[in-house]
Amino acid sequence: MTRFLEFTLRAFATMAVAASMAASAGAAPNIVIVMADDMGWGDVGFHGSEIRTPELDRLAAGGVRFERFYTHSLCSPTRAALMTGRFAVNTGVLGPFNPWYARGLPLDEKLLPEYFREAGYRTHAVGKWHLGPNEPEYHPMNRGFESFYGYLHGYLNHELHTLFGRVDWQRDGNTVHETGHATGLVAAEAVRQIRERDQNAPLLLYVAFGAPHAPLQASAEAIAEYAHIDDERRRIYAAMVTELDRGIARIAAALEEARIAENTLLVFFSDNGGSANLGADNGPLRGGKGSPFEGGNRVPAFMHWPTGLEAGTVFGEQMTVTDLLPTLLAAAGADADAAQPIDGRNFWPAIADGAPAPAGPALISHFGRGVMQHAYFSGGWKLVRVADDQGGTEDLLFDILNDPFEENDVSEMHPEVFRQLVEELDAIPKAEPISLHDRLPALSEPGGPMRWDPDNRPPGGTPYAESGRIPYPEGNYP
C-alpha cells in the first residue's frame, strides 16, 4: 500500500468521530461557500494588493485566514475536488469542460450537496457550474442542489450572458433573459436565497462568481476608480475584483439582516491562480493559472464564523480544496457516508480548536499542453512535474517551506528524497482525463477563454438551456 492510499484510508476512518464531536457542540451552522474565478494570490487587500477589497479583508480578519490553501490550477478540476473530496487523478476531471464536450463530472461520484441534504440541509447553487454543460444528468439540480441560478459553462459575456452568441443564463433549467452584469446578478440571487430560505432547516449555499475571469468587463464607475492604473487589462480586472468584493458585502449584509450571521460558516477561496496576461497578479509566487507552480494553485482563502472560529487566526498548515468536503461535514456534525474513498482530510479540529493538522501527501494535477502535470506534496517537499518544451515533462523538487517562491530546484542536492517522491507519484493510479482543454478550437478567437475582450455579437439562436450542445465549428464533436 502506498503512503498516499494509507493516509487516505486513515483520514476516511476518523471522519465519523470528528463529526460526532461537532454535532454535540450545538445547532448545525449554515454554510455559505463563495468562490472567485481566476483571482491571483496578490489580488486581495490582505495580501497587500493595490486593489481595494475591504469586505474580503474584514471577513478574513474576523476569521481564519489560510496562508497555504491549494486548489487545482484550472477551473473544473477544482470544482470537482470541492464537490467530491477526491483528487483529479481519481475523478478524471483534469481540465475544463469545454462547450462541445458531452460528458461531465462522473455520475458515480457523490457530491457535496448530496451529503448535506442527507444531514437535513437545504441546498442551493448560484453562479458558475462548469462540471458538465450539455447532458442534463450532469446539471446541478440532478447532482444534489434543489435550485440553480446561473450558467453551465466556464465563461461568458458578463453583460450579455452569452457564449459564442447564445444565451447561457438560467433558473432551474429554464433560460432567463435578464439585464445586468453577472457579478451583480449572482450576488442578488444569493441574497434572495438567504432572505427566502427555509427557516426550519440549515442552509448550504454555493455561490460561484464568474469574476474576475475573462472577458474583462466591469462598470464604467468601477473602472474609473482605478484610473491611476495605466495597463488597461489590469485596470478593468481591478474593477472586477472590487465589484466582486461589493457583491460579497451584499451577501454578508443579508446574513446579518436575516440574523443568521452568527451561526453561518462562510468559506471563501479562488478556484485557481490568476493569468498575468489577463490582468491578474500572483504576487511573488511562481507561475499562474494552468501551472503546477505555486502561482497556479496557491490561492487566497479564509473561513469566517463569528461563534465558531476565533477572529484573527492565521492558519499556516497546508490544506487543499479536496479537504473542504470532510472538513465542512465535520463542522456541521454530518456523516460522511461516501460512495467512494474520500482523499481529503478533516481539518476542522485543527482549524477550530488548534489540534495538530492531519498529515499526509497531497496531489494536485491537471492536463495541459498535451501532458499530465502534477504538484505532489509530501512533508515539506514539493515535487513538480511540469510540461517541457519538447512535448514531455520534467520533474523538479522544492523545499517548499523554505523556498515558497520555488526559486531553487534541489533535486540534485537531495537525490534520495527526489527519487522517493518520483516513485510515489508514479505509483498513484491515475484516471484517464475526461475533460480536455486542448481540443478547444480557437482559444484566442472572439468568445474564447484566453481573450480579455468580450465577444459582443448580439444574442441569437435558441437559448442554450433549451438547445443542448453548441455545434462544434467543424460540424463534429470531440
Which residues are catalytic, by number? Answer: 75, 130
Place of cell 481539518: 347
Enclosing H/E stretch for 368: strand 362-368
Amino acid at 407: E
Half-sphere exposure (CA, 13 Å, Cβ side) for 365?
Answer: 24
How many whole angstroms from its chain centre is CA 84? 12
Amino acid at 3: R
Residue 376 backbone phi and psi in degrees, to 5: -115, 120
162, 177 Cβ separation under 8 angstroms: no
Angle, CA 249 vertex, CA 248 and CA 251 arms, to 5°: 65
410-427 core/surface letters (b: 16 or more CB in 10 A; e: else) = bbeeeeebbeebbebbee
Place of cell 481519481: 90
Q: Residue 418 is placed in which grid cell?
A: 527526489
340, 86 Cβ separation under 8 angstroms: yes
Q: How many CB atoms lie within 10 A of CB 369?
A: 16
Strand 313-315 relative to strand 64-66, pairing: parallel
Sheet holding 393-399, edge to edge: 362-368, 371-378, 381-387, 393-399
Strand 170-171 relative to strand 174-175, pairing: antiparallel
Q: Residue 467 is placed in which grid cell?
A: 438547445
Q: Which of 277, 287, 274 is nearest to 382 (CA)?
A: 287
What is the C-alpha to C-alpha distance for residues 356 and 204, in angstroms, rounded to an integer? 27
